[in-house]
Amino acid sequence: MKSTRPFNISKALIILTVALFILLPGNASAQTDYQPSPENLQARREFQDMKFGMFIHWGAYSVLGDGEWVFHNRKLTVEEYNRLPLFFDPEKFDAHTWASLAKAAGMKYITITSRHHDGFAMFDSKVSDWNIVARTPYKKDPLKMLADECHRQGIKLFFYYSQLDWHNPDYYPRGATNWPNGRPDHGDWNAYLDTYMDGQLTELLTNYGPIGGIWFDGMWDKPDADWHLAKTYALIHQLQPAALIIPNHHQTPRPGEDVQTFERDLPGQNTAGFNTKYVSARLPLESCDTLNDNWGFNIGDSNYKSPAELVRRLVRTAGANSNLLLNIGPYPNGEIDPEFVTRLHAVGDWLSKYGDSIYGTRGGPLAPANWGVTTQKENKIYIHVLDWNAPLLALPPIEGKIMSAQLLIDGSKIDVTQTIDGVVLKPPAPKAEEVDRVVVLTVAK
């Protein structure tokens, strides 16, 4: 029906002003006119196909073996924390070993902290000498070595970048995690974003070859600040159009962002309490979690998840149409805890047999349930039976005629009945050591 209300000129002016403001660079509302390039759209699809990545939290903080928040948790001053890099000397770091471990685990990408909230750059930065090359006895750039090795081994490398900074005086006004650590009560916020942060991002996007993207974290420290997102996002997309912007701000995705990520949660569940329940139907999804309880190396944390838990987590994540980014915190000397290594190998062994039901798939036609989840690829539907002991499994209706049902592990035929009311499967009894009975349905298209 046509509106009979008179045209309200002042309302129109407000709308126009807001629209102009949003479109101006340097605004918090992100890259509103962003049209992902064809390379970016292709990179998003490839990202979804990869399904499993290695998250690495590693920095000067690893030396204290007390997690990546140690600067904040111990309420150290900047002067005190400045001593830490003096004895950070990761002489056992070997990029080949790290990338090979990711590969053996069946992981297709690595996301590593290029700098965490302590602001300490783990790369050769000319923007500030608060970095591993200038301040440590090691004097080398591990990210360069890792980038080169990842390129050699065909692993995509993403850089985690903390927008929150506990060290730089220009991170001012301070945010929710602020404590008096000796920084002056003034600072140049615009310089922090436009010169420091964008300067370092430019380095990361020009000195390390093609990278997978930037994984942002820390905006939640100052949720109402103007983060100049439009400017920063445009810079990244201009430097490397295929690079994906993955923001861990725990909010609804904004224009210019390429992946929606969730922390310690399956998309939409918000069991962690700080994630949004909104799940994008448009963007690839990712969920990150720790292999034990910590992100950065914590010497007192032996609460490792078992291989079966890890596999189930991966399967449930894929069933939720999402990638899993699984974290390890290497030792300060560059070695990786053998407990991580054995568990990652076990997941890799499982993937070498069941990978068809994970890689390249999307969430399947049935909603995740207690019994399990589904994934799908072309004309195959993978039924992941995770927790079901009865002889018959009754499922809701599945579209398309089911031509066959087979166990993925050995191709043996499974009895299947399909009616308009649903599908009934007769899977074999679970084996003691089996974490996931995968039944492959081939569906006529």
Residues that bind ligand FHN (CB under 6 A): 68-69, 217, 248, 263, 288, 295
Bridge partners of 442, per DSSP, are 380, 404
Cα 105 vs. chain centroid, distance in angstroms?
Answer: 17
How near is the Cβ of 260 to ligand FHN at its closest, in Å? 13
Distance CA 201, CA 158 (A): 12
Burial group, residue 10, by CB count within 10 angstroms (0-12, 13-18, 19+): exposed
- Considering the complex, state which of residue 37 and residue 73 has its C-beta at the smaller distance from ligand FHN: 73
- Considering the complex, state which of residue 69 and residue 371 has its C-beta at the smaller distance from ligand FHN: 69
- Considering the complex, state which of residue 49 and residue 263 has its C-beta at the smaller distance from ligand FHN: 263
How near is the Cβ of 317 to ligand FHN at its closest, in Å? 15
Is the link from the previous residue into 210 a cis peptide, with omega within 30 of 0?
no
Question: DSSP state, 249?
Answer: S
Residue type, 370: N
Q: What is the DSSP pairing of strand 437-443 with strand 380-385?
A: antiparallel
How near is the Cβ of 398 to ligand FHN at its closest, in Å? 35
Taking a C-beta distance cutoff of 8 angstroms, is the pair 427, 371 a contact?
A: no
- Considering the complex, state which of residue 221 and residue 436 has its C-beta at the smaller distance from ligand FHN: 221
How near is the Cβ of 25 to ligand FHN at its closest, in Å? 27
Look at the block and give the residue holding tokens 């290695």: 54
- Considering the complex, state which of residue 50 and residue 325 has its C-beta at the smaller distance from ligand FHN: 325
- Considering the complex, state which of residue 220 and residue 388 has its C-beta at the smaller distance from ligand FHN: 220
Identify the H or E element spanning 83. Answer: none
- Considering the complex, state which of residue 165 and residue 217 has its C-beta at the smaller distance from ligand FHN: 217
Question: Which residues touch 134 (CB under 8 Å, ≥6 apart)?
Answer: none
HEC sequence for 286-304: EEEEECCCCCCCECCCCCC
- Considering the complex, state which of residue 70 and residue 99 has its C-beta at the smaller distance from ligand FHN: 70
How many other C-beta atoms can be found within 10 angstroms of the C-beta atom of residue 367?
Answer: 11
Q: What is the DSSP pairing of strand 260-263 with strand 244-248?
A: unpaired
How near is the Cβ of 295 to ligand FHN at its closest, in Å? 4
Q: What is the DSSP pairing of strand 372-377 with strand 362-363?
A: antiparallel
Look at the block and give the residue holding tokens 């964008």: 198
How near is the Cβ of 263 to ligand FHN at its closest, in Å? 4
How near is the Cβ of 430 to ligand FHN at its closest, in Å? 34
Using CA atoms, how far residue 151 sits from 205, 212, 241, in Å, is 14, 11, 18
Identify the H or E element spanning 125. Answer: none
How near is the Cβ of 303 to ligand FHN at its closest, in Å? 17
Distance CA 425, CA 326 (A): 32
How near is the Cβ of 266 to ligand FHN at its closest, in Å? 14
How near is the Cβ of 301 to ligand FHN at its closest, in Å? 14
- Considering the complex, state which of residue 229 and residue 288 has its C-beta at the smaller distance from ligand FHN: 288
Taking a C-beta distance cutoff of 8 angstroms, is the pair 203, 173 a contact?
A: no
- Considering the complex, state which of residue 197 and residue 366 has its C-beta at the smaller distance from ligand FHN: 197
How near is the Cβ of 66 to ligand FHN at its closest, in Å? 12
Q: What is the DSSP pairing of strand 437-443 with strand 260-263?
A: unpaired
Cα 95 vs. chain centroid, distance in angstroms?
Answer: 20
Residue type, 369: A
Cα 69 vs. chain centroid, distance in angstroms?
Answer: 19
- Considering the complex, state which of residue 69 and residue 388 has its C-beta at the smaller distance from ligand FHN: 69
- Considering the complex, state which of residue 217 and residue 258 has its C-beta at the smaller distance from ligand FHN: 217
How near is the Cβ of 131 to ligand FHN at its closest, in Å? 19
Taking a C-beta distance cutoff of 8 angstroms, is the pair 164, 223 a contact?
A: no
